[in-house]
Amino acid sequence: MNLTTRTRRHRPLPNRPDLMHARKTYHLSWLDHTLELGRQTCIMGVVNVTPDSFSDGGKFFDCDTAVAQGVKLAADGAAIIDIGGESTRPFSDPVSVAEEIRRVVPVIEKLSQRISTPISIDTTKAEVARRALDAGASIINDVAALRFDPGLAAVAVEYDTPVILMHMLGDPKSMQQSPHYDNLIQEILNFLADAAKRAGSLGISPDKIILDPGIGFGKTVEHNLMLIKHLPAFKSLDTPILIGASRKSFIRKILKETQETDILPDLPLVETGSQAAVAAAILNGAHIVRVHDAAGTLATVKIVDAIVNSDDR
């Protein structure tokens, strides 16, 4: 029996749902800023102006140091710089409005004079957001999805700014106390759909809403892995999706060698793990990735975007 080997050349791939497809593109335009989300992954660089954040608490608590880090992140490829003055790590305590303003406003004032990159204010408080926007910020990043301060939506509408709405189970003080879901993906999908609907009913334009499933906010290691794996389900929300997995505890727990010994969030090993999570998130449809290392993420983004955008014909 003669067997003939035939080489397939440029045969179109079948239209199967398990094949990777390019993300839907979204156009955000506000004030003097424009972001095209989809063709290329948008990098959001983090600057925590706090003494107690899980990854870099205390490193950028000084204003000038925080400004320098923001400038570096922008130079390294971040298209958004996210400034936060209150830690949202598990079991953290809230800070007062006055203290949060004291931490973030001087940084935003100085940073906005040195970079043209849009600055987001990571806060759940309306007055903090207002003062930050007056200082030069132009995006609101609310981990509470407008649930903690009813006045925050009005500030977003007044300044006509994009808003990031995130899923969190409970609050930072309680969110990691035995988090449970009957149907993880559907419950978070429902939460985010309701958050977007509520934002719209309060006057926020649908084309200025970004949704975040909230990696690490009221989730176990398995929950976080499942969220990234099943991120394509969130396409049904028809909204840009942000993923913030950088240096989160689920990465450190997977990488540590023993149950007794934890590893520091800023170690190179953890950053490597973070880039693996970033790559998986992009492959599964994330439009924005929130990270601590913009330079390393830019290399990841360039390669993974090239794969996502490759022609299957």
Mark whether 16 is an active-site residue: no
**Number of other CB atoms surrounding residue 65 within 10 Å:** 15
pTM of the model: 0.90
Q: What is the 3-state secondary structure (H, E, C) of the chain?
A: CCCCCCCCCCCCCCCCCCCCCCCCCEEEEECCEEEEECCCCEEEEEEECCCCCCCCCCCCCCHHHHHHHHHHHHHCCCCEEEEECCCCCCCCCCCCHHHHHHHHHHHHHHHHCCCCCCEEEECCCHHHHHHHHHHCCCEEEECCCCCCCCCHHHHHHHHCCCEEEECCCCCCCCCCCCCCCCCHHHHHHHHHHHHHHHHHHCCCCHHHEEEECCCCCCCCHHHHHHHHHCHHHHHHHCCCEEECCCCCHHHHHHHCCCCCCCCCCCCHHHHHHHHHHHHHHHHCCCCEEEECCHHHHHHHHHHHHHHHCCCCC
Of these residues, 23, 130, 248, 252, which one is catalytic?
Answer: 248
**Is residue 24 within 8 Å of residue 240, measured between CB atoms?**
no
Distance of alpha carbon 68 from alpha carbon 50, whole angstroms: 15
Distance of alpha carbon 44 from alpha carbon 117, whole angstroms: 10
Q: Which domains does the chain have, with CATH numbers?
A: 40-243 (3.20.20.20)
The pLDDT value recorded for residue 144 is 95
∠ CA 254-255-257, nearest 5°, is 105
Predicted confidence (pLDDT) per residue in 140-182, tens digit: 999 999 999 989 999 999 999 999 999 999 776 666 777 889 9
Which is it for strands 26-30 and 33-37: parallel, antiparallel or unpaired?
antiparallel
The pLDDT value recorded for residue 246 is 96
The pLDDT value recorded for residue 9 is 45
Which is it for strands 80-84 and 119-122: parallel, antiparallel or unpaired?
parallel
Distance of alpha carbon 28 from alpha carbon 163, whole angstroms: 11
Mark whether 290 is an active-site residue: yes
**Is residue 287 within 8 Å of residue 26, measured between CB atoms?**
yes
The pLDDT value recorded for residue 87 is 83
**Is residue 274 within 8 Å of residue 255, measured between CB atoms?**
no
Q: pLDDT below 50 — which residues of the chain?
A: 1-18, 57, 313
Half-sphere exposure (Cβ direction) of 253: Cα atoms closer than 13 Å = 9
